[in-house]
Amino acid sequence: MPQSAAMISGIQRMVLYETRARYFLVGSNQAQTKHRVLKIDRTEPKDLVIIDDKHVYNQQEVRELLSRLDLGNRIKISQKGSSGLSRAVSACGIVGFVRFLEGYYIILITKRRKMADIGGHSIYKIEDTTMIYIPNDSVRVTHPDEARYVRIFQTMDLSSNFYFSYSYDLSHSLQYNLTLLQRPYELWSSAPSSTEEEVHTQSKQDSFDIFEDEGLPTQVVYGLQNEPYYKYVWNGKLLEQVKDIVHPDWLMYIIHGFCGQSKLLIYGRPVHITLIARRSSKFAGTRFLKRGANCEGDVANEVETEQIIHDASVMSFSAGSYSSYVQLRGSVPLYWSQDISTMMPKPPIRLDQADPYAHVAALHFDQMLQRFGSPIIILNLVKKREKRKHEKILSDEFYPAVINLNQFLPPDHCIEYMAWDMARCTKSKLCNVLDRLSTIAENVVKRTGFYVNQSDFYCHSLRPDDRWGDVRGHIASSGRLQTGVLRTNCVDCLDRTNTAQFMVGKCALAYQLYALGMIDKPKLQFDTDCVRLFEELYEDHGDTLSLQYGGSQLVHRVKTYRKIAPWTQHSKDIMQTLSRYYSNAFSDADRQDAINLFLQVYQPSESKPHLWELPTDFYLHQSSSMALHQDRRSYTLWWSNGILSYLPVPYDEVPCEDTMKKVKVKRVNRFDESIDTYTEFFRPYEITSFDDTFCIAMTNSAREFMPKTVGVDPSPFTVRKPEETGKSVLGKSTKEETLLQRKTAASAPPPPSEEAISTSSEDDSEEDRDDEGSVSQRSTPVKLLTESGESSRPQEEVQQQSVKESYGLNLAEFPSEEDLLIYKRFAHLGESQHRVERHEHINLANIISLEPVSCFPVDSIYAVCPPQVDKDSRDVFESHVLTSRGQMRALCREDMLVYREYIKNRYM
């Protein structure tokens, strides 16, 4: 059992009860053994009055409390028909509290859906919410514009790509969350002592032990509760009013972006591939309305993408194998925008403010150094050559800004800048886009490294790989840390950026699987089940992010750059382009207002103009334009204090005084349910259906992508033809394809070596046609030739068809004379070598030797000698016999621990 563990929220189920004067929000844990009550006053027309009952109730106490409230709030005591306490709604989380021009509203999550599982920690997607007005109708002060604000606020659809977890911090990366558990525990004692006594008293009450007087030691575990990274939290402002009032279990932080998980089966071994995208809540908005950066260094369309690989056969964070890799996308960190009033598909780019000292870029890269460490690698994909200067304006300003910032950084930690015109390379017949991206990805992954929570395998030193030896990052005894990050951008950070991130993710995936011992070389081929599964996951990720920012799905996908997209894809691309243009022209302004209102960037007030009356929201996102800052940051020492001393390791992951203040530590018993991930995940107290579990419904490489042909290589790393995927084979219904699926492994040739598989140009159409003969043909059946040289046709008769399906030839046809001659010669040779004289008597006893197969040394109809039984087995049997007679043996220490835990969970 680890010495530290993440705290699980004690409130996962909620019921809102209503009276005329108050709302009572009763929250409980998943097992409904502990309950908390939140009292919300309804008599205040414009203020939020919340009382958090500090007492933790059990189920019986909650029922008694609700019955007393029901009885006390009835109009007449003797009247049983009219209830004084009514049940309003059931929920599973609080999004927050919001106020416009009247009273406060409470937003509750009423429906959720499980999307991923990481080490036993479930990640949920919000499916439905409800918004309830708190003040009573008798004290409500109406305002004519309240309904319009409510309508704008509800335009922000919370059921589309908002995620939360009760036990896993989604705002931080897996590397941060796991390194937090591995910090030295002596540092916990250096936390501020002002709350130490309170925490100790509270933990002693929560983990009350009736066996403490018997001298049995209590196994203590440090429960950790970390402060979220508010840049990726979307309901931080909505919870700001109650954050310091209520218990932390009531607070639940949500992220916006994407979360998807698929199962990769490697010869039956489950490996989960999880993709999490966190969209920044700072300077958030839609495509043409949010460009560049604001005065605080936050850029538009900033998304952190993390791919997590873990062996699903082991659930625990301490004993399992986990690996992650993080990338970043975001707009060019300059003051720039595009004027959409001209109604052009591509409005001209203009630089709004001059920034000769790259002040905004310095603030942005300072945040990245603090969160990711060094090196920071920039991949700029905007166009370089244009007839009319458009995208090149950004490159001409961005590169000098990076040069200016690098002259003050140490040479080992400088920002690396790579510019590549991806659009021009796509149009060229001499250039292969994915080959170029593959080379860039290889260099980037080697420079930044990746996170893995275990040390290198010994087999890696026995069979060293040249690529593996060049991988950098921070290497420790417990594994590897990713230091630095790749920042990819184009103009929109949508189509080109998603393809580039996919290629980098594909390269990182190969290294992650190699580090976990799943493959023998850190390289993955296209057209394998593994890469197809990963590509589908990345396309869903790109479509979701594109819909959020651009208003349509991706226009150019990976298949487009591989030049293998079907001809129907062109019409779809045109429709997506039109959909994106329509969304940008007509609906983006309303979506931007909803985002500003949800994030509380704009807070309505009677003394301010209304949101729809503002000509622009520039002043809402640029705080420096509304006030003059007295302290100005240095242009030369543009980074925060203390960052450079820990590089290349990110400052946020260093156990220093500043980072320790963000962690709350609680001493709990090792069996406490607040850290019991096993009970939280498996829920042994509930009856669950195996078919309804999340792992069954998850996308499966064997079910979705592996060909259904009998006898194919089940490895997800085998290169297959496009028509051999599981999805395409299932759709075929002809006799020939049915026959093709039933071929056995004996009719398939051996697979070629890896060197024979061409990978230099996956997207070149001419070489793709040539590769059809060189790729692996493990699932391609061999067509037998008849005497005339033509392929054997399917049999028309049912009796002959079964024979041909089994053996690959028609046994009803008489063999040729050449085949008969060969058979006669073989039979003659066999008779000559194994000739047996007929007159000799054969003694079967010399040929057949019968031996007993019983495990008993003596086993016959006359006598049986039983096997020996060890002492431990005899002791277990004797204890069972004595127990049946009412005689109990003395309990050992392990028995006392189990019984103590049972008493605690059952009655306390």
Name 623's Cβ contacts closer than 8 Å, sequence gap at least 6.
294, 295, 296
Residue from 674, 673, 675, 643 nearest 656 by CA: 643
Instruction: Locate 178 and state its tokens.
Output: 């796991």
* Tens-digit pLDDT profile for residues 200-224: 444 444 444 444 444 555 678 888 8
Instruction: List, as one string, the DSSP characters of 595-654.
Output: HHHHTTSS---TTS--GGG-S-SHHHH-GGGTS--S----SSS-SPTTSTTTTTS-GGGS
C-alpha neighbours within 13 Å on the C-beta side of residue 882 = 10
**844: Cβ contacts below 8 Å, ≥ 6 apart:** none
Give CA–CA dist 286/172, Å, rounded: 24
Rounded CA-CA distance 545/539 in Å is 10
Q: What six digits make up the tokens of 665?
A: 């530590």
Strands, E, within 654-736: which ranges? Answer: 663-669, 699-700
Cβ distance 310 to 375 under 8 Å? no
Residues making up the chain, counted from first to last: 908
Q: Which residue has the tokens 């933990």?
A: 203
Spatial separation of the C-alpha atoms in residues 483 and 480, rounded to whole Å: 9
Give per-residue burial for 284-297: e unless 16+ CB within 10 Å, then b.
Answer: bbbbbbbbbbbbeb
Choose among 698, 655, 643: nearest CA to 259.
Answer: 698
C-beta of residue 176 within 8 angstroms of C-beta of residue 326: no
Cα dihedral 459, 441, 359, 412, rounded to 10, equals: 40
How crowded is residue 782: how many other Cβ atoms within 10 Å of its Cβ? 13
Six-digit token string for 352: 């709004």
d(CA 570, CA 739): 34
Closest among 311, 239, 232 to 270, alpha carbons compared? 311
The predicted structure's pLDDT at residue 903: 79
Strands 416-419, 336-338: pairing kind: unpaired
**What is the structure's pLDDT at 853?**
63
**Which regions of the chain are under pLDDT 70?**
1-2, 75-83, 185-218, 342-343, 565-573, 575-576, 578-586, 625-630, 710-711, 722-813, 831-856, 859, 861, 906-908
What does each C-alpha distance from 817 to 181, 787, 807, 825 come to in angstroms?
77, 12, 21, 12
DSSP annotation of 793 reads: P
Distance CA 188, CA 902 (A): 30
* 49 token code pair: 């009055």
Residues 489 and 325: their CA atoms lie apart, in Å, by: 18
8 Å CB contact between 257 and 303 = yes
CA–CA separation, 452 and 460 (whole Å): 15
Provide the residue type at 712 as one letter.
V
Terminus-to-terminus CA distance in the chain, angstroms?
23
HEC string of 327-380? EEECCCCCCEEECCCCCCCCCCEEECCCCCCCHHHHHHHHHHHHHHCCCEEEEE
Q: How far apart are CA 908 and CA 898, in angstroms?
A: 15
pLDDT number for residue 770 = 38
pLDDT of residue 849: 59
Query: What single string gives the DSSP state of each residue in 248-287?
Result: GGG----EEEEEEEEEEEETTEEEEEEEEEEE-STT---T
Burial label, 791 (beta-carbon count in 10 A; 0-12, 13-18, 19+): exposed
876 contacts: CB under 8 Å, gap ≥ 6: none
Give CA–CA dist 645/595, Å, rounded. 38
Instruction: Indicate if the alpha-carbon torsion angle 652, 653, 658, 661 is positive or negative.
Output: positive
Q: What is the pLDDT, as a whole number, of residue 861?
A: 67
Of the candidates 102, 166, 90, 167, the one whose C-alpha atom is nearest the C-alpha of residue 136 is 102
Contact between 394 and 348 under an 8 Å Cβ cutoff? The reply is: no
Pairing assessment for the beta strands 485-489 and 322-329 based on DSSP bridges:
parallel
Predicted local confidence at residue 897, as pLDDT:
83
pLDDT of residue 74: 80
**Taking the CA atoms of the chain, what radius of gyration do you get in angstroms?**
34
Between strands 349-351 and 376-380, the pairing is unpaired
CA distances from 146 to 73, 105, 134, 237, 591 (A): 31, 12, 14, 20, 18
H helix intervals, 550-602: 558-562, 568-582, 588-598
DSSP designation for 234: S
At 32, which amino acid appears? Q
In this prediction, residue 816 carries a pLDDT of: 80
Tracing tokens 């309505």 back to the chain, one arrives at 604
In whole angstroms, give the CA distance from residue 370 to residue 647: 9
pLDDT of residue 790: 40
